[in-house]
Amino acid sequence: MSNKVIIVGSGNAALSAGIASLEKGSKVTIYEKADKKMSGGNTKYTAGAMRFSYESGDQLIGLLQNPNDERIKDTDFGSYTKEKFKSDLLSFNDGRPLSWEQDILVSKSLETIQWLSSHNVKFEPIYSRQSFVKDGKHIFWGGLTLAAENEGVGLFNQELAAFLSLGGKIFYESPVTNLLLNGNKVTGIYVGDNKIEADAVILASGGFEANDNLRKSFIGDDWSKAKVRGTPHNTGDGLRMALEIGAIKHGLYEGCHATPMDLHMKNYGGLDLEPKERKNYRKICYFLGIMINAKGHRFLDEGKNFRNYTYAQYGRKVLEQPGHFAWQIFDSKVFDLLYEEYRFHDAHFVESKSIDELIEKMDGIDKIETRKTIEEYNKAVDLTTSFDPTTLDGKSTKGLEIKKSNWAQRIDKGPFKAFPVTGGITFTYGGLKINSKGSVLNKNNKPISGLFACGELVGSVFFNGYPGGSGLTSGAVFGRIAGYGASE
């Protein structure tokens, strides 16, 4: 008789687990809290970009939706070795060694993407954001090369199609509320009063980013005020259910991925908006100007590094400021360089010909201190080095308590613009501990019989940020592992 597997959630991790379990002959049912439109969790909010190791472009061709794309013959995909992927992860670890989970993520990344592709999940090169043209050739940089066809929604649709075609079932509007136990073994779930039995349960219900109280208690008081960038449904239910029956906490509970966002955006990601619109609430061009808090002070090095290496930490820094907000200030010298998100129809900002008038329009700040801070900053800017946003130009400030290390230009050429921002949480890092089969471990490091986990719920995969595209790959890698494990 075939194994009966229940999966909680319907994002990328859940569907990867489902496909893997079905492959092994299990009967698989997904229970999803959201309605059909809102199913798919944070996965649907992504750009669908997936990071994985590869030795050469030849390994990518078979993964593509359109391998005959005219551009491919003039494309240099380079390589992205396992060593490079590991060192990229390490650069966010704050000195921690590579975790076991990170090692698995890297070593299984390529085979997992190839496996998804064998289930008709197809990809396209990210020409627009991850390559540049040199001597007529498209040259990819940075290791992030492919995204699922039609971004996160496309990834979800393709994975769901594969899951359903293999015979998987899905129930929407079915929030799993508790685990069913027989002694120490998990033997099913409760959806409200409804008891549903199974041989194995896979938790794929995301992190606790959309739960104000859990954010406050695990990450800190400031975090009850954070905007949530993705789904409202990832409220830590799976985590709670597992911890209640003795699972051990694993990973950085006080950490999370958060970025500077428009202070006046609606809470949650707005799945009803076009992906392009949704993305435009982000505000990450702080490196072209300065950020000022309610006291009128700068509070971080806006030019510490390229923005990919700072944006996931700076959301937190903004949220930690008095009133949980800051203003980003730019002068007209950089207006052309600001990303599209600053010209978005629903971008909130104030504008003025003079800096004094601008400061008058900026709500909630100490105006005298702000003026002083801008004057001091302008005086400290090194005028001997040239501004070059394409490199770490070393054009810095001298003598300020908080330095701006690169791209420091005076804010002196009107008109001026200021954008109010806060911190928006993407997802949480604290989760559960699993073994190589995806089984959830208890406080004695022993598997809890019948219980598996994957996706955002797996702890110790990320610590202080992540190289873009590794979240989805992690979901697929650990989803596939849990799916196979649950079917055994």
Ligand X SMILES: Cc1cc2nc3c(=O)[nH]c(=O)nc-3n(C[C@H](O)[C@H](O)[C@H](O)COP(=O)(O)OP(=O)(O)OC[C@H]3O[C@@H](n4cnc5c(N)ncnc54)[C@H](O)[C@@H]3O)c2cc1C
Sign of CA dihedral 72, 66, 57, 145: positive
Among the listed residues 4, 5, 6, 12, the single contact to ligand X using CB under 6 A: 12
Rounded Cα–Cα distance for residues 177 and 179 (Å): 7
Question: What are the DSSP calls for 167-185, one per residue?
Answer: T-EEESS----EEEEETTE
**CA separation for the pair 85, 112 (Å, rounded):** 15
Number of residues engaging ligand X in binding (CB under 6 A): 42
In the complex with ligand X, the residue whose CB is nearer, 43 or 397, is: 43
Tell whether residue 265 is a contact of ligand X (CB under 6 A): no
User: What is the smallest separation between the CB atom of 442 and ligand X, expressed in angstroms?
Assistant: 21
**What minimum distance in Å lies between the beta carbon of 344 and ligand X?**
15
Burial of 358 (0-12, 13-18, 19+ CB in 10 A): buried
Answer yes or no whether residue 234 interacts with ligand X by CB under 6 A. Answer: yes
CB atoms within 10 A of CB 116: 27
Query: How far apart are alpha carbons 57 and 75 in whole angstroms?
Result: 9
Q: Compare residues 51 and 297 and give the one whose CB is closer to ligand X.
A: 51
Site string for ligand X, 34-73 (x = CB under 6 A): x----xxxxx-xxx-x------------------------
Nearest approach in angstroms of CB 294 to ligand X is 26
Query: Among positive and negative, which fits the CA dihedral 199, 481, 218, 308?
Result: negative
- Does the footprint of ligand X cover residue 427 (CB under 6 A)? yes
Tell me if residue 275 falls in helix, strand or coil.
helix
Q: Which of residues 269-298 bind ligand X (CB under 6 A)?
A: 269
Angle separating helix axes 151-165 and 12-23, nearest 10 degrees: 20
Question: Residues 18, 31, 119, 121: which binds ligand X (CB under 6 A)?
Answer: 31
Does 88 bind ligand X (CB under 6 A)? Our answer is no
Our separate counts of H helices and E strands in the chain read 14, 23
Q: Which span sits near ligand X by CB under 6 A: 2-10, 88-96, 324-332, 367-375?
A: 2-10
Q: Which stretch binds ligand X (CB under 6 A): 123-131, 242-250, 379-387, 462-470?
A: 462-470
Whole-angstrom distance, CA of residue 294 vs CA of residue 391: 31
Binding-residue pattern over the window 169 to 208 for ligand X, x denoting contact by CB under 6 A: ------xx---------------------------xxx--
Q: Does 451 bind ligand X (CB under 6 A)?
A: no
Q: Using the rule CB under 6 A, give the single segment among 11-19, 94-102, 293-301, 344-352 that binds ligand X.
A: 11-19
- Measured in degrees and rounded to the nearest 5, phi and psi for residue 8 equal -100, 110
102 binds ligand X, rule: CB under 6 A: no
Give the Cα separation of 146 and 364 in Å (integer).
43
Q: Which residue ranges make up the site for ligand X (CB under 6 A)?
A: 8-14, 31-34, 39-43, 45-47, 49, 175-176, 204-206, 229-231, 233-234, 237, 269, 426-427, 455-456, 468-472, 475
